[in-house]
Amino acid sequence: MNKAYIIGIGQTPVSESWDKSLKELAGDAGLMAIEDAGIGYPDGLFVGNMMAITANHQAQFGTLMADWLGFHHKPALSIETACSSGSAAFRMALMAIASGEMETALVIGAEKMTDSPGSEITASLATAADAELEADFGLSFVGLNALLMRRYMHEYGWKHEDFSGFSINAHANAVYNPNARFQEPITRESFSRSAMISDPINLLDASPVSDGAAALVLSSRPNQNGRKPVSVAASSSMTDTLSLQNRKMGTRLTAAEVSAKAAYTQSGLSPSDIGFFEYHDAFSIMAALSLEAAGFCGPGEGPRLALEGKIKIDSEIPVATMGGLKARGHPVGATGVYQLVEATLQLQGLAGPTQVKRNRYGMTQNIGGSGSNIVTHILQSG
């Protein structure tokens, strides 16, 4: 199988983009990545997006982007796996490169959420849950995570304020990311005072509704632009039950555990080899569960890593190095690609003030639904 390299990246600021349509945002990121790669149009296009149909009334988004970018008479696919759509698109492009079907591929993750009323976005996000068992009974996506967090707190004895370290860390790192939605630090006190959304999840537990697009170019050959080459060491995708009620272990992300183990096996690495982890901190509970699933601590120990400062840039396992979903923002279909773009910058030593010291290997993990679709990647420099 062919090795795959990331040779170009692009990203738009995560914000409320009132002056840009979905295709314009996606096009901006895609053109940035193509220009950065310096090789002309790639052989194919893979677009990750969740709610173009429901929020933007646009089907065939991959075809639309091929048209918008001038990719005529080349393959283009739109891929949807809820919030993991971006990394799923990356994985599809990776498979095309590895098989020899393509030599180069453009991956775009994009989402435009702020144009739609809040109630419509809430309903669109709920489509990532089981319609018959969850959404039809009025369970929002925040509500599902609140149920999960409440059960976790009950089983392991944690208090709500014990989760503050995840949000504090994310906001501290986002200060140095010009593309982040929120670039101001928060404190434990402001976390505790934050308005409750769905008990026990408050406003500072949750990632914001946002607009944004990120893109990268994959190639079977390393870049020639003088930067450190970045290659894909492992790629794994796993699923679990869509509904929480059908999970055998409700307070563990079993699919994430299996996905991470598969990635470690593919790469020949272990958690101790990973220099940083771009996890899916859509909610504080997901941050804790992701650290546990990826093997950085045992079940029920995630909050302790944050409380003891072990997830900071200069500590044991840096996470959300450029703000994560919590502070960079979470334009859902784009999130997985933002993670990969940020990991690429870390591995090339271009992450600025939040540059990690151990940047040989980095892991990204993108979660679709409430843990039902997990995509894990390990990237390496050199």
Active centre residues (catalytic): 83, 330
CA–CA separation, 313 and 231 (whole Å): 22
> Is residue 300 packed enough to be buried (19+ CB in 10 Å), middle (13-18) or exposed (0-12)?
middle
Which amino acid does the sequence have at 345? Answer: L
CA–CA separation, 332 and 208 (whole Å): 10
- CB distance 6 to 230 below 8 Å: yes
H-helix or E-strand containing 78? Answer: strand 76-79
Q: Which two tokens stand for residue 263?
A: 């990635």
Determine the distance from the C-alpha atom of residue 149 to the mean position of all C-alpha atoms in its chain, rounded to a whole number. 20
- CB distance 216 to 9 below 8 Å: yes
Residue 277 phi, psi dihedral angles, 5° rounding: -135, 115
Determine the distance from the C-alpha atom of residue 227 to the mean position of all C-alpha atoms in its chain, rounded to a whole number. 24
H-helix or E-strand containing 217? Answer: strand 211-219
CA–CA separation, 237 and 83 (whole Å): 13
